[in-house]
Structure 1
Amino acid sequence: MVSQKVKITNPTGLHLRPAGIFSNIANKFECRITFEYENSIANAKSVLSILGAGIKSGDEILLICEGEEEEKALKAMIEAVESGLGE
């Protein structure tokens, strides 16, 4: 298991379009990818879970990757978030 905190920097938070990008990247990897936000854990591979978390710009999440490609997955997810998820 690997994990790292990352701040959501895109101006609108994780609304539908960036949530879709976030989920698509997570689904590329053979491992479990979740994130912790405000004492709840959500599935990063599910757009509905991401949207349900209500993450806004400036919020910080803890990305958690467990499994075969965990290191590669964590790196890709962090890069995507830091690049603004397409916005």
Structure 2
Amino acid sequence: MVHQTVKIVNPEGMKIGPAGKFCETAMHYDCHIEFHLDDNIESNAKSMLSILGAGAQFGDVIDIICDGQDEEEALAALVELVEGGFADEEEQ
């Protein structure tokens, strides 16, 4: 199991567009992926409803947790996505 704390820098937070990108990226990996917001909100990174339900906003800090065979790669991809403001490569 690996994890990393990251700050949401996208002004929209994790609304529909960013949440979709986060979920789509997570779905590319076989490992279990979740994130924690504060101490009491846990979200399944492979579920749009779970991500949206967390209500992560600009400036919030989340802890991304990956557990499984491709956990390192999954964590790196999701951290890069969040730190990049959920921008597509052509937007950066």
Q: Above 0.5 in TM-score?
A: yes
Aligned equivalent of 1:84: 85
Question: In 1, Cα distance between the equivalents of 2:69 and 2:42?
Answer: 20
Matched residue of 1:4: which SS?
strand
Matched residue of 1:81: which SS?
helix
Q: Work out the number of aligned pairs and report it.
A: 87
1:19 aligns with 2:22: no
Gaps of 5+ in 1: none
Gaps of 5+ in 2: none
- Note the alpha carbon deviations across 1:4-48, whole angstroms, 9 max, x for none: 100000001000010000000000001000001122211001111
Tell me the C-alpha RMSD between the 2 structures. 1.0
Question: In 2, Cα distance between the equivalents of 1:37 and 1:80?
Answer: 17
Show structure 1 runs of 4+ deviating over 3 A: none
Question: In 2, Cα distance between the equivalents of 1:44 and 1:23?
Answer: 6
Q: Which amino acid aligns with 1:7?
A: K
